[in-house]
Amino acid sequence: MSVVLGIMAATIFLLYLVYFIKIIKGNPQALELEVLRSLADWIISKGSPSKSYIWGVFFASLVVEALYFYLTVVLIQNPVMMSLTLIFIPQEIYHMSRVAVSLNRFFSGRYLLSQIFNWRMERASAVIFFTHSFLVLAILFFL
């Protein structure tokens, strides 16, 4: 199970690396705008099936996050890391619930695409996930 956690942490670390660097440098807006443009182009190209794809990705990410947190709590017996994880879980539940509400509003026509993401919350989540995954990798590597 440690190998699975390591693979998950490394994947999260690598996925958030570019965004983390942009945030630290103080210019994440260009990447965020590109994400929105790419998402808009993709939705246009896929048409109505894009709705089920997006919800599928959303629910798959919930499963992956739940598994990641479960493995972290079960395998990492460091009290500081346990505390950080237990603080991060409610924040991420709130974050994902807000994304779900925004997606629902977007697909019902009450939100524009640009309103789906709360970029301050996305940045906070990205920084926390990046840092958390780095710490998990460090603990797994050194223990």
Q: How far apart are CA 121 and CA 91, in angstroms?
A: 10
Percent of the chain with pLDDT over 70: 100
The confidence band for 143, taking pLDDT boundaries of 50, 70 and 90, is: confident
Residue 69: Cβ-neighbour burial (10 angstroms; 0-12, 13-18, 19+): middle
Average pLDDT on 6-24 reads 97
Structural domain boundaries of the chain? 2-142
**pLDDT tens by residue, 37-60:** 999 999 999 999 999 999 999 999
Residues 75 and 3 sit within 8 Å (Cβ to Cβ): no
Determine the pLDDT at residue 8.
98
